Amino acid sequence: MQKKINLLLAEDHRLVSDGLKSLIATEPDLHVVATIENPEKVISFCHAHSELDVILMDIRFEHYPHLNGLELTKQINQIKAEFPKIKVKVLVCSVNEDAAYIQRAKEVGASGYVFKNDSPEYIFCGIREVAKGGEFWPLIIDDFDLDPLPKPTPTEMEVLKYLAIGMQSDQIGIELAMLEATVSTHRRNIRQKYRINTPGKLTLFAKKCMDIYGTPPDQKLSEELTKLTDEFKKQIKERIKEQTSMAVESADEITVEIKFPDRIGEFNNATNRALSRTVEEAFRNIRQHASARKVSIHLTELNASWITLTICTEGKGFDVAHISSGSSGGIGALERILAAIGGELAINSSPVSSAMITATLRRTAQR
């Protein structure tokens, strides 16, 4: 008896998946093990079903924009290297006929690419070829210039992430804790770099980038603060070494306390980024205007309506009037960012050469 080819359909449109399943059922050597609409469940399904031979993979999952089929294909190939029992191959099945998608599918380890408007017989042929270890790529790829465009920078990808869902520059500025003028500059640079001449084409380009390269994840506040803390300790050590001509060997000599409860995750991305920028700005000013050996960062209040973050230093302190002057950058820019999401910044100093920066933000609905 001929062994059947076991298939998994990764497709979030029920009409498409039901149609494919009905067509595949007419082929005696093909068997659909399951249909999955949520891409987050594909990896665990592969672990549980080592008998899978081929995944027919869509690229875009409308309800799960943070994970697309190409990024998922890359993850599958990574776990295959770690778990030899998983031998499944990926055949991308998409409406996208742009050669850039096909090229990216090759790069992330897919075994082939078919279009949803291809004939059933052609798709079946692709499934069989991929299942036996071959590759199956459309002839259209030979007719395109595949000299790849440069991938957008990480910051450009962050801006494109929100352009792809229709946000305007002021809204993106709030999400990224970035001035609206800075966002506009990034938009202009992207249009010039990729020769995009209309806002509509820019949105399409942004969606294409999310499909091909994957949507940048929202960085966790705890991870950002850890990086900032480590960098702050390093630079303060260097400053003390310069001032005293002595190396600071022990990390215990410099204390950075950050006390955030788990509930910080209840705040949305814009608020978390603003908090992170507040801490970063505090570190920057302390680094420039003080030789502090202890910094304490903690929440003085957290309730259903607002959050208050306080950064205190012990050392020589710094010139509060100096760091809070001017509106083009630094504290002035940060104040506008916080104000945009319903927050405020207060800077205080005391006669005993200590300083305190306090940021208060009203809670907003989590996206």
How far apart (Å, rounded) are the C-alpha atoms in residues 281 and 283? 5
Which segment of 22-26, 193-197, 286-290, 332-336 scores lowest on mean pLDDT? 286-290
Give the pLDDT band (50/70/90) at residue 100.
Answer: confident
H or E stretch covering 313: strand 306-314
H helices within 245-307, ranges in order? 269-289
Does the pLDDT value for residue 346 go beyond 70? no
Give the pLDDT band (50/70/90) at residue 62.
Answer: confident
User: Positive or negative, the Cα torsion across 242, 246, 247, 249?
Assistant: negative
Report the phi/psi class of residue 348: left, alpha or beta, with left for phi > 0 and alpha for psi in -120 to 50. Answer: beta
Contact 67, 214 (CB under 8 A): yes
In this predicted structure, what is the pLDDT of residue 365? 40
In this predicted structure, what is the pLDDT of residue 367? 37
- % pLDDT > 90, the chain: 43
How far apart (Å, rounded) are the C-alpha atoms in residues 295 and 154? 30
Does the pLDDT value for residue 104 go beyond 80? yes
CATH 3.40.47.40 matches 5-143? no
How far apart (Å, rounded) are the C-alpha atoms in residues 305 and 120? 56
Which segment of 110-114, 149-153, 307-311 scores lowest on mean pLDDT? 307-311
Which segment of 126-135, 188-197, 212-221 scores lowest on mean pLDDT? 212-221
The mean pLDDT of 54-59, rounded to a whole number, is 97
The separation between the first and the last C-alpha atoms of the chain, rounded to the nearest angstrom, is 53
How far apart (Å, rounded) are the C-alpha atoms in residues 36 and 77? 18
Nearest Cα to Cα of residue 67 among 43, 31, 33, 88: 43
Does the pLDDT value for residue 31 go beyond 80? yes
The mean pLDDT of 329-341, rounded to a whole number, is 59
Which segment of 19-23, 87-91, 109-113, 361-365 scores lowest on mean pLDDT? 361-365
Contact 279, 338 (CB under 8 A): no
Which segment of 45-54, 62-71, 121-130, 284-293 scores lowest on mean pLDDT? 284-293
How far apart (Å, rounded) are the C-alpha atoms in residues 54 and 34? 11
Domain 221-362 fold: Heat Shock Protein 90 (3.30.565)
Q: Domain segments of the chain: what residues?
A: 5-143, 154-213, 221-362
In this predicted structure, what is the pLDDT of residue 214? 84
Q: Are strands 30-36 and 5-10 parallel, antiparallel or unpaired?
A: parallel
The mean pLDDT of 2-14, rounded to a whole number, is 92
Contact 108, 70 (CB under 8 A): yes
The mean pLDDT of 131-142, rounded to a whole number, is 82
Q: Are strands 255-259 and 306-314 parallel, antiparallel or unpaired?
A: unpaired
H or E stretch covering 186: helix 180-193
| Architecture of the 154-213 domain | Orthogonal Bundle (1.10)
User: What is the CB neighbour count within 10 angstroms for residue 320?
Assistant: 17
pTM of the predicted model as reported, rounded to 2 decimal places: 0.57
Which has the higher per-residue pLDDT, 81 or 289? 81
Q: Give the CA angle between residues 91, 50, 108 to the nearest 5°.
A: 35
Per-residue pLDDT tens digits for 271-322: 666 666 666 666 565 555 544 555 565 556 655 566 666 666 555 444 444 4
In this predicted structure, what is the pLDDT of residue 175? 76
